[in-house]
Structure 1
Amino acid sequence: MVLTGDVITVGRIGRPRGLNGELYISPNTDFLERFENLTEILIKENQSWEIIKVISSKIISGRPVLKFNRVDNPEEAARLTNKLIGVPKEQVFDLPDDTFYLFDLVGCEVYDFVSQKKYGEITEVEQYPSNDIYQVKNLEGKIILVPAVKKYIKEVDINDKKIVIDLTGLEAIL
């Protein structure tokens, strides 16, 4: 079965584990419990998402391990390596106040803290160990990279799709 609609990527399938078709998952979510007690998940095949039945799920050394229906050996499992896995958007976990999902940032309008004028729009969020980087396309079409740290990000309003940034100190890249 193929799913249409909004799907949120929660990880990527990693290498096979053992001889019975289990696969490690490289999650891109802070909620590892998302992978416990799964009965099905979405796998990206070509440009569409397909529902696949999950036979077992567990966390080993802080890493999810899934076993899918009709994947019974390492060779079959290896064919799924590097495929994206996701869930329907309505199944994402609720977050505490003042926190948000990265996918919620894409499309937010960006305003300059000093002038209060619209500066552009977030087109992508890149994740790095030290901090995320917001790709902002300014009104002239130029992409600038803004570190997602309090020094530069002054306000995030997901409901209004508005982010206020202080560009002071970033003049050299503008």
Structure 2
Amino acid sequence: MAQMFNIGKIVNTHGVKGEVKIYPYTDDVTKFEKYSSLIVGERRIEVVSVRIHKNMALVKFKGYESIDSVHELINQSVYIPREMADDDGEGHYIVDLIGCIILDEYGKELGVLKDVLQNTAQDLYEIKRKDSMQVFYVPVVDEFVKSIDINARKIVIHLIEGMLE
């Protein structure tokens, strides 16, 4: 399981007093407001302030007082430790699911979870078929996803006619 989550990328400076603009990789940019520190590259940096502007997090870091001092941070990824992430009650995150073996209800191996595509209606599992480079998609709803065992790295799904085509 991943110990660090990439939650965004510093894309630019903002103003002349050392603020940076972070493009969020989270669906809720306001989460940045609760972090007292962030890991930028490989260093933990204390957060002085956070403002949300046009769906971006404007962050001021301790020790970075001018536009010149933050230039080194541009294009760096921003991380949080796993323990700082919100637990959604399901006990797993997308990063934990990637690479899990996909089985049908009868135990037949169908492939490996390649990605989770997040849509407004529901998420979709993108599954790479076991014996080819082809992929197929399964909506992440109770009707199709029957069980998830993170420790065993297995997900059991229910197939319907046409789903594998």
Q: Which moved more, 1:78-87 or 1:140-149?
A: 140-149
Does 2:78 align with 1:81?
Answer: no
Q: How does 1:86-101 map to 2 (within 5 A)?
A: 86-97=79-90, 100-101=92-93
Q: How does 1:90-169 map to 2 (within 5 A)?
A: 90-97=83-90, 100-113=92-105, 115-127=106-118, 132-140=123-131, 142-146=133-137, 148-150=139-141, 153-159=144-150, 160-165=152-157, 166=159, 168-169=161-162
**Partner in structure 1 of residue 18 of structure 2:** 21
TM-score (norm 1): 0.71
Does 2:72 align with 1:42?
Answer: no
The match for 1:71 among 64, 75, 93 is 64
Measured against aligned partners, the alpha-carbon deviations of 1:68-88 in whole angstroms (never above 9, x if no partner) come to 233333344343233211111
* Alpha-carbon distance between aligned partners in 2 of 1:75 and 1:117, rounded to the nearest angstrom: 58
Does 2:36 align with 1:6?
Answer: no
Counterpart of 2:133 in structure 1: which amino acid? K
Counterpart of 2:93 in structure 1: which amino acid? Y
CA RMSD of aligned residues (A): 3.1
The match for 2:27 among 20, 26, 30 is 30
TM-score (norm 2): 0.74
* Alpha-carbon distance between aligned partners in 1 of 2:69 and 2:134, rounded to the nearest angstrom: 41
For the Cα contact (< 8 Å) 1:38–1:56, is it kept in 2?
Answer: no
- Equivalenced residue count is 162
For the Cα contact (< 8 Å) 1:112–1:167, is it kept in 2?
Answer: no
| Structure 1 ranges of 4+ moved more than 6 A | none
